[in-house]
Chains A and B, each alone.
Chain A
Amino acid sequence: MLAQLSYYLSYSFVRNALIVGVLIALCSSLLGVTLVLKRFSFIGDGLSHVAFGAIAIASVLKMSNRMLIVLPVTVLCAVLLLRAGSRTKIKGDAMMAMLSVGALAFGYLLMNIFSTSSNLSGDVCTTLFGSTSILTLTTTDVILCSALSVIVVLIFIIFYHKIFDVTFDENFARASGTRTNLYNLVIAVTIAVIIVLAMNLVGSLLISALVIFPALSAMRVYKSFFSVTVCSAITSVVCALSGILISIFADTPVGSTIVAVDVLAFALFYAAGALQGRARVPA
């Protein structure tokens, strides 16, 4: 098995997939807690559909680098949604639904009408579930993904305490003079970047899983923001690594394998949390 592993690792595309996979998994787990607790999960889900639409546009335009259009469009939508969502909750929800289903429909329509490929359903499936795109990354993709990942991690570290403040108690933060609108904007833009990144790994339909599962798992067992963040980052990276390796050995789709491992990890953490809780009650 080890010999087989080193055989696989001798291929540059496998190494690239592992590097990018780990970096993306790290980024996507960082904002999970904020997303879950701020009830922003729906934004993550909606944005991934928007990104799908943007990819359709990019492939119709035959752009060599899809990121150039997908990233700005997704970031723009994130900002718009945050604006709408901050005014009233219901309006934001409805707008989210409109935007995400609309983008999905138009994306598929565009791909269908202007398709140049003979394997349309295969293309769509790849975009939605990410089947093999992680194994077909070009050098430019790898560099771009790595750079964006590093930027996301740096932003998270710099804004770590602000993100905590804004998530835990936005009213207090605003009352004591924190620029909550600015930091909400930072969070929204970062989420958009993470989603565009994560599309490469798991495809647009499975992104939310990558963002939310590690955080939910960590929250079962750990009790402080710091430990939850560290634990969800580690969980996410371990799951992504093992998911990619399993998919190579067992010849399964990369994205869904990673998410399956994430779900399994959540079950383990859930059980651990329940045991921990029971141990504490008699004491």
Chain B
Amino acid sequence: MIRNLNFAVNAGNYLCIVGENGSGKSTLVKALLGLLAPMSGYIIFDEDLSRSEIGYLPQQTEIQRDFPASVREVVLSGFQGRMGMRPFYTAAEKKEALEQMERMGILEFAKRCYRDLSGGQQQRVLLARALCATKKLLLLDEPVTGLDPKVTQELYDLIETLHKEGVTIVMISHDVEAAVKYATHILHIGDITFFGSKKDYLNSQPGRRFLAGTKREK
């Protein structure tokens, strides 16, 4: 497990967090989200970003596989964090949910059941929900796990579009090649820890070793 980690994400960055299984990626995500307290040290948020303004795309849970929920209901629940004790959604929120569904290309599924959708469509639904929660920062936890190559590519393109539109992206990934292709910054967790821009990573020791490793596997 990694110790003494230090890194920063600035608005507009596209940070990929890569590393072997068990290196502490999931723990880091939980700490960032406030689901776990960091064992020591600090997570500092900028003044114009509060913790609740992180849009989170979690890995799929067991419950969701048989949950009876329409796509619209799932997307709307993205607003919950901002609602406080207010019990119902406003007309503006309902309208925005429709806009986010359109942005993700899932408007036609609005009334369909979430569990009946394909893996890629489900990820788009969860992205739309995350976008209802925030405009600023998306945290994606292994978003392409279990998707076929075509759908994976489409999802990466979609995330890239969001990044170009000004959303800060933090993505946990196994897929180092995609990380190097899309990200502006890389955080590599493992025996040797690296944090820096993509260009520096490609020339660094862990970067070269990791990339060489993935190429050899093919």
Mark A residues whose CB is within 8 Å of B. 33, 37-38, 157-162, 164-165, 167-169, 171-178, 218-219, 222-228
Chain A neighbourhood of B76, CB < 8 A: 161
Is A168 within 8 A of B66, CB to CB?
A: no
Is B81 within 8 A of A178, CB to CB?
A: yes
Query: Taking the complex as formed, is B4 at the interface, i.e. its CB lies under 8 A from any CB of chain A?
Result: no
Query: Taking the complex as formed, is B45 at the interface, i.e. its CB lies under 8 A from any CB of chain A?
Result: no
CB distance from A156 to the nearest CB of B (A): 11
Q: Given contacts A175-B34, A176-B56, could you give 13 more A-B pairs where the C-beta distance is less than 8 Å?
A: A160-B87, A161-B83, A161-B88, A168-B77, A173-B81, A175-B139, A176-B52, A176-B54, A176-B82, A218-B68, A224-B70, A225-B68, A226-B70
Interface residues of chain A: helix, strand, loop or mixed (majority): helix
Docked CA distance A116–B129 (Å)? 60
Is A225 within 8 A of B64, CB to CB?
A: no
CB distance from B45 to the nearest CB of A (A): 13
Chain A neighbourhood of B130, CB < 8 A: 172
Query: Taking the complex as formed, is B91 at the interface, i.e. its CB lies under 8 A from any CB of chain A?
Result: no
Nearest B residue (CB) for A219 = B68
CB distance from A86 to the nearest CB of B (A): 12
Is A175 within 8 A of B35, CB to CB?
A: yes
Docked CA distance A158–B78 (Å)? 18
CB distance from B202 to the nearest CB of A (A): 32
Is B58 within 8 A of A169, CB to CB?
A: yes
Binds A, one of B111-119, B155-163, B192-200: B111-119
Query: Taking the complex as formed, is B3 at the interface, i.e. its CB lies under 8 A from any CB of chain A?
Result: no
CB distance from B33 to the nearest CB of A (A): 4
Is B51 within 8 A of A177, CB to CB?
A: yes
Query: Which residue, of B68, B69, B129, has the highest number of chain A Cβ atoms within 10 A?
Result: B68
Chain A neighbourhood of B88, CB < 8 A: 161
Docked CA distance A171–B34 (Å)? 10
A161 with B68, Cβ < 8 A, contacts A168-B74, A177-B82 known? no
Query: Taking the complex as formed, is B55 at the interface, i.e. its CB lies under 8 A from any CB of chain A?
Result: yes
Chain B neighbourhood of A172, CB < 8 A: 56, 58, 77, 126, 129-130
Contact with A along B140-160 (1 / 0, CB 8 A): 000000000000000000000
Nearest A residue (CB) for B129 = A172
Is B63 within 8 A of A168, CB to CB?
A: yes
CB distance from A251 to the nearest CB of B (A): 38
Is A161 within 8 A of B69, CB to CB?
A: no
Is B70 within 8 A of A168, CB to CB?
A: no
